[in-house]
A and B are shown apart, each in its own frame.
Chain A
């Protein structure tokens, strides 16, 4: 066997071994009565947009692609999903305090405006989540209008 063949074999073995490293993907929950989607704050086209662009990481309804179950990609998916939900989980929207809702919506506006979200690495695998400038504008306008509604509701 040549050196490069040994190298390939070595990589193959490492690949197989890391599959046994424990890795916990955040749980998927389908029924979320407290979700933003049922709150009356978002509907129609905007609901679809948010679900496609944000909900894999910022809700309990993550749609895990096949590579989510294969290390080392699975580690990154688990980390980003866990951190995304910690930052804001739209599945618990109605439980969130009014002031925190406003801070979240204000962040939605700036994160989308500055193209920090959706994460570039997420977009590299999810072209359907890519936002056109018009999409970004729509989300920003929605977030701003939603803030006024949240204040009035209180």
Chain B
């Protein structure tokens, strides 16, 4: 009789034991890591003012839209966003954007030093990984 009453207890202990083992597996969600962080507000402000005019879904210039479409950017997965940031960084460092032709007609479109610093800092990406 004593041995029989021990059985359900043993089973209960067993169940608890297995739950404890499975818990850490349940808690990991690798998909969450693939989600990209939002663009910081001050970066977004510069983009809206200085980049979005050409790089948007309704843009007239096919090339500008194809290379970078801000309307699509935030919907992209993390890997795509980081790739775009990497290319943005390169284009800024090389002085390719905004295009010289564009600035001839619209000198006010030039990035100020502060705006340039904000975009460079953000597009470099690495510094943000600690957050």
Contact = CB atoms under 8 A, between A and B. Distances in A.
Interface of A: 98-100, 102-103, 105-106, 147-148, 150-152, 154
Given A147-B79, A148-B79, A151-B78, A103 B33 contact: no
Given A100-B86, A148-B34, 7 more contacts: A99-B85, A99-B124, A102-B79, A106-B80, A147-B83, A151-B82, A152-B33
Given A99-B89, A99-B126, A151-B78, A105 B83 contact: yes
A106 B87 contact: yes
Given A147-B80, A151-B82, A103 B90 contact: yes
Contacts of B34: 148, 151-152
Interface residues of B, number: 19
Q: Secondary structure at chain B's binding surface: helix, strand, loop or mixed?
A: helix
Contacts of A152: 30, 33-34
Contacts of A98: 82
Nearest to B87: A103
A154 B33 CA distance: 11
Interface in B81-106: 82-87, 89-90
Contacts, number: 38
B37 interface: no
Contacts of B84: 106
Contacts of B129: 154
Contacts of A151: 34, 78-79, 82
Q: Which 5 pairs, one residue from A and one from B, show the smallest C-beta to C-beta distance?
A: A147-B79, A106-B83, A102-B83, A99-B86, A103-B86
A106 B73 CA distance: 14
Interface string B62-88: 000000000000000111101111110
B80 to A, nearest CB: 7
Contacts of B78: 151
Contacts of B87: 103, 106
A106 B78 CA distance: 12
Interface in B4-37: 30, 33-34
A152 B33 CA distance: 8
B53 interface: no
B33 A102 contact: no
